[in-house]
Amino acid sequence: MTDNFGTGLVVGKFSPLHRGHQALIEHAVARCDRVLVLSWSAPEFAGCHAAQRDAWLRTLYPNLERLVLDDARLAAECLQRNLPVRKLPTNLDDDAAQRAFVAWVCSALWGVRVDAVFTSESYGDGFAAALQEAFSGEAGQHWPVAHVCLDLARRLIPVSGTALRRDPHAMRGFLDPRVYASFVGRIGLLGGESTGKSTLAAALAARLETQWVPEFGREHWEARQGALAYDDLLHIADVQVAREDAMACDANRWLVCDTTPLTTLLYCEDMFGRTEPALQAHAKRRYDMLFLCSADFPFVQDGTRRDESFRLAQQRAYVAALSARGIAFTTLRGSVDARVAQVLQALHACAGDTTAHGGLTD
């Protein structure tokens, strides 16, 4: 007969959160009335900082009780409860220090004593025994803590965080698409009207065997027959960002974005002379690689565009805005094929940067 428990605990670095972790969490949920999830890593791994891990857990398990900590978050939790501020144990600290910290988190931050700890590790028995000793001392009576081990041999889900950090793209099958999306690099294309952005986006996505996000602003402009109101501009940026996030789940290493919210911000400033704070925030959205398409294509009037002088003014506005924000960009020139080649060269150089999404290491 399978035992069920009142309160279960899952602890992990979740760097990144993979399907093995999910199986463990879901096993705990199936066997417990209440499940607590604790995550920390000191130091943290590239691409897996506390806010990101918290976002993964929140997205996949919105109702789960969790504490995802770094030193700043831990300090905030302590101050909120009028507790002395303490530091996280490091990844190299011994088992005793880490287990004592987990017991303290349960008692001091959650105000609970767990009945079971769920792991896929050989150290689970010792972990449960340490918690049992700590909680029994607090309670003044025996407080049993069971160890529930799932898939110790990694037969069901043969994966490790180390292997995934080495190449999340090659092992994306072990990541929920919403987690994998965090490792997809974003390519942003900018340029004035009739600078070939959409043509380039489609060609680049085909070459990279990935997805590209069309410009929603054009769709909305056509739907409104060119009569855009002030509030439409923030709506355009909201939808553009949401589409990017959704399509990143199905992308392959890179997601090509036909525009960025900076474009919407500049249109809003030009059309209305003011912008909403939320639109300004969207315009600060980070892209891993940003490219400005030159106005060296012949201007084509498709019935929706203004004129050549406006296109040149747009180009100047992009350069000024990016320079003022200290944002690096690469200017693309020549034919579509030439521009694709220039982008690929830049991406190849980016692959050597271990801080980029495409080149994560331990």
Tens digit of pLDDT for each residue in 207-237? Answer: 999 999 999 998 998 899 888 999 999 999 9
Among 41, 19, 58, smallest CA distance to 150 is for 19
pLDDT tens-place string over residues 318-331: 999 999 999 999 99
How far apart CA 231 and CA 51 sit, in angstroms, is: 30
Q: How confident is the model at residue 307 (pLDDT cuts 50, 70, 90)?
A: low
- pLDDT > 70: percent of the chain: 93
Q: Do domains 5-171 and 184-359 have the same CATH topology?
A: yes
Q: How confident is the model at residue 41 (pLDDT cuts 50, 70, 90)?
A: very high
pLDDT exceeds cutoff 90 at 154: no
Question: Residue 306: its pLDDT value, please?
Answer: 67
Question: Residue 354: its pLDDT value, please?
Answer: 38
- Average pLDDT of the residues in 346-350: 88
**In 14-168, where do the E strands start and end?**
32-40, 65-69, 116-119, 146-149
- At residue 291, the 3 state secondary structure works out as strand
Question: Residue 247: its pLDDT value, please?
Answer: 97
Q: Count CB neighbours of 283 within 10 A.
A: 19
Residue 310 sits at φ, ψ, to 5 deg, of: -70, -40
Q: Count CB neighbours of 290 within 10 A.
A: 21
How far apart CA 88 and CA 104 sit, in angstroms, is: 11
Question: Residue 298: its pLDDT value, please?
Answer: 60
Question: Residue 361: its pLDDT value, please?
Answer: 26
pLDDT exceeds cutoff 70 at 357: no
For 339-351, letters b (16+ CB in 10 Å) and e give bbebbeeebeebe
Homologous superfamily, domain 184-359: P-loop containing nucleotide triphosphate hydrolases (3.40.50.300)
- Average pLDDT of the residues in 88-104: 97
In terms of C-beta density within 10 A (0-12 exposed, 13-18 middle, 19 or more buried), how is residue 258 classed? buried
Is pTM, for the whole model, over 0.85?
yes
Least confident of 53-57, 144-148, 159-163, 303-307: 303-307
How far apart CA 166 and CA 360 sit, in angstroms, is: 6
Question: Residue 300: its pLDDT value, please?
Answer: 59
User: Which residues, other chains included, contact 234 with Cβ-Cβ below 8 Å and sequence gap of 6+?
Assistant: 268, 276, 278, 279, 282
- Average pLDDT of the residues in 175-202: 93
Structure tokens at 334: 């020549």
Residue ranges of domains in the chain: 5-171, 184-359
Question: Residue 136: its pLDDT value, please?
Answer: 98
Question: Residue 196: its pLDDT value, please?
Answer: 86
CATH architecture of the domain 5-171 equals 3-Layer(aba) Sandwich (3.40)
pLDDT tens-place string over residues 231-272: 999 999 999 999 999 999 999 999 999 999 999 999 999 999
Among 48, 68, 285, smallest CA distance to 183 is for 48
Q: How confident is the model at residue 304 (pLDDT cuts 50, 70, 90)?
A: low
Task: Write down the mean pLDDT value for the chain.
Answer: 92
Question: Residue 352: its pLDDT value, please?
Answer: 59
Q: How confident is the model at residue 301 (pLDDT cuts 50, 70, 90)?
A: low
